[in-house]
């Protein structure tokens, strides 16, 4: 008997514990963690409301990007007809609405009868059409400004993408998520400017129309549609870039016409050092999030473009480059080049124009013998090592950077490499360990064209409130560190012009353009791709124009391509020709 009583007591205790756990769980769900349930930070109230609410989002509340003239780059507003499904059960003047829209009522009926949630119907409306429709005051039928993604957006890798990332959301906005100000599922910037400027762009509140429905989708509290939206006149903000969307679109088209698969182009305004256009390939695959990286910010093997650094060092070092000639039948290892590559005896200027490897390998070894760090010094003076994008303190953001994940240049992987003759020669022609970003190369050309003045590259001019007032302006800033002398810049400009003007110059193709171009070509052999020796190369052309009164600096690079199919020079030619047609 005693054992039976004990078993009953035991069972009752277990049941009480289970009931206590259940009550605790109910309290957690109903009272305690209603807006931040579980590690997923689920807003239970919001989820519950969504189950019995149909809504039409007019604006997601996220800040947007514009070009330098205020042209939308990511989203735009359109006047559209918004219709809620419950109108199917109503009698309303659909013939009148169809007439205003210049449709037939049958066409309108066909579109509405398939609705099971609020949707946009028909084409863009004029302001007069919208005014006439709204004057009818039909429940569930509205002519409103609706946010719409820009079709085929330009500068997609530069602007970047957004997406849901609960881990990053929790880490970056933990307090706002815990306070219920943001949902754990709020899209955030994943790459590009969307990521760099995310804390300015994150939405305060969506603007939407909503109504409550029963389990069959019918109106729960009548047919009144409610509007909810941010009442703040300052948000969301817009980020005004320095991009010229017209030039950007033309540059995008040129790359696509020439089927440049991997690489891209950077166009800078030399006076302001702002990005006028920047495009990267491959295109972004939104479904798989591939192609997201901006190749213009990733260090690449530059090939002979790097000879510009060696030339700058040679001009200043005292090495005699005026009277000497160099045996350009030889390669950097003092062996005979293939017959097609032999150039004979050339002076320093002709060596630069025809891109003689022997000359620059020889000169580099002589300079390093006198000063072991001379290549590093001039790479830094020309801005090829450290990031060149705008950075500085912005409000409470210390060392804010406009460019997301801009890479640093590399000259040597190991200090000892700079003491070996073979490695020095390879470095002098932009091979071996050398890696620089196309943005930094464009900035180098702009620096030379300005007479040696180094500036940070801006891609965003300002952040503006919704009412048009300015929240913050990114002022031009100098790039820190030593720079080349004006005399050195003058000599470099002469060498860069000769690359195009010389009868055998590697840029002679550009002689037929309407304006004179100065620049440097580069061909970098990419060995051991997937463990095999291949003929894969990086093909560059970097320069500025018009040569005598520089306005633009331009870099085009075709990465990991076969030498017989590279369109680099054709792309460079067409971009210049677009800006300065004959």
* Catalytic residue set: 304
Strands 53-59 and 64-66 come out as unpaired
Selection from 416, 69, 408, 49 nearest residue 244 by Cα = 69
Burial 455-492, CB ≥16 within 10 A → b, else e: bbbbbbbbbbbeeeeeeeebeeeebeeebbeeebbebb
Residue 580 in contact with residue 563, Cβ under 8 Å? Answer: no
Count of CB atoms within 10 A of residue 139's CB? Answer: 16
Nearest-5° angle of CA 516, CA 300, CA 347? Answer: 50
How many CB atoms lie under 10 A from the CB of residue 18? 10
Contacts of 369 (CB under 8 A, 6+ apart): none
Number of Cβ atoms within 10 Å of the Cβ of 310 = 26
Question: Pairing between strand 518-525 and 274-281?
Answer: unpaired
Q: Using an 8 Å Cβ cutoff, are 530 and 557 in contact?
A: no
C-alpha 354/C-alpha 345 separation (Å) is 12
| Beta-carbon count within 10 A of 149 CB | 10
Q: On the CB side of 223, how many CA atoms lie within 13 Å of its CA?
A: 15
Distance in angstroms (rounded) separating the CA atoms of residues 286 and 160: 11
What distance in Å separates the CA atoms of residue 260 and residue 570, rounded to the nearest whole number? 10
Q: How far apart are CA 292 and CA 194, in angstroms?
A: 12
Backbone angles phi, psi at 346, to 5 degrees: -130, 145
Two tokens at 481?
């560190």
Provide, for the chain, the percentages of residues in helix, strand and coil under a 3-state DSSP scheme, each rounded to the nearest 5: 35, 25, 40
- The SS3 of residue 413 is coil
């Amino acid at each position: 008997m005693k054992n039976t009583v004990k078993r009953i007591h035991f069972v009752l205790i277990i049941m009480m514990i289970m009931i206590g756990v259940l009550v605790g769980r109910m309290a957690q769900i109903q009272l305690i963690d209603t807006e931040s349930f579980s590690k997923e930070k689920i807003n239970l109230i919001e989820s519950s409301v969504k189950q019995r609410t149909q809504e039409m989002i007019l604006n997601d509340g996220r800040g947007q990007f514009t070009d330098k003239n205020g042209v939308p780059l990511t989203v735009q507003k359109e006047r559209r007809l918004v219709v809620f499904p419950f109108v199917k059960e109503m009698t309303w003047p659909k013939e009148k609405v169809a007439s205003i829209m210049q449709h037939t009522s049958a066409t309108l009926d066909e579109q509405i009868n398939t609705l099971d949630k609020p949707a946009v119907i028909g084409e863009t409306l004029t302001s007069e059409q919208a005014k006439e429709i709204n004057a009818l005051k039909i429940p569930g039928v509205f002519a409103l400004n609706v946010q719409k993604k820009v079709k085929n957006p330009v500068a997609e890798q530069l602007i970047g993408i957004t997406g849901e990332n609960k881990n990053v959301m929790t880490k970056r906005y933990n307090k706002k998520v815990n306070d219920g100000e943001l949902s754990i599922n709020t899209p955030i910037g994943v790459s590009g400017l969307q990521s760099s400027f995310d804390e300015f762009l994150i939405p305060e509140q969506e603007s939407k129309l909503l109504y409550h429905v029963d389990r069959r989708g019918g109106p729960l509290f009548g047919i009144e549609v409610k509007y909810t939206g941010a009442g703040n006149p300052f948000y969301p903000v817009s980020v005004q870039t320095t991009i010229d969307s017209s030039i950007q679109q033309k540059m995008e088209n040129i790359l696509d016409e020439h089927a440049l698969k991997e690489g891209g182009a950077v166009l800078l305004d030399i006076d302001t050092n702002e990005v006028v256009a920047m495009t990267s390939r491959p295109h972004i695959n939104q479904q798989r999030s591939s192609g997201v990286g901006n190749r213009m910010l990733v260090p690449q093997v530059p090939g002979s473009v790097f000879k510009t650094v060696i030339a700058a060092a040679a001009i200043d070092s005292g090495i005699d480059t005026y009277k000497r000639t160099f045996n350009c039948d030889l390669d950097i290892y003092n062996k005979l080049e293939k017959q097609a590559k032999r150039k004979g005896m050339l002076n320093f200027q002709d060596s630069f124009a025809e891109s003689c490897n022997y000359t620059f390998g020889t000169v580099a070894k002589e300079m390093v013998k006198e000063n072991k760090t001379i290549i590093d010094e001039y790479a830094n003076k020309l801005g090829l090592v450290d990031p060149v994008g705008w950075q500085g303190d912005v409000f409470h953001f210390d060392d804010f950077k406009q460019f997301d994940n801009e890479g640093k240049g590399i000259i040597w992987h190991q200090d000892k490499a700079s003491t070996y003759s073979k490695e020095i020669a390879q470095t002098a022609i932009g091979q071996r360990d050398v890696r620089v970003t196309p943005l930094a190369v464009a900035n180098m050309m702009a620096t030379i064209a300005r007479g040696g003045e180094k500036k940070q590259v801006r891609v965003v001019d300002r952040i503006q409130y919704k009412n048009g007032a300015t929240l913050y302006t990114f002022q031009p800033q100098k790039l820190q560190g030593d720079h080349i002398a004006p005399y050195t810049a003058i000599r470099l400009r002469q060498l860069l012009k000769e690359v195009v003007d010389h009868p055998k110059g590697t840029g002679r193709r550009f002689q037929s353009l309407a304006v004179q171009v100065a620049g440097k070509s580069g061909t970098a052999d990419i060995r051991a791709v997937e463990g095999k020796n291949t003929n894969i190369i990086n093909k560059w052309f970097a320069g500025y124009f018009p040569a005598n009164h520089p306005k633009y600096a331009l870099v085009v690079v075709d990465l990991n391509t076969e030498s017989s199919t590279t369109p680099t020079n054709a792309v460079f030619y067409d971009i210049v020709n677009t800006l300065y047609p004959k």
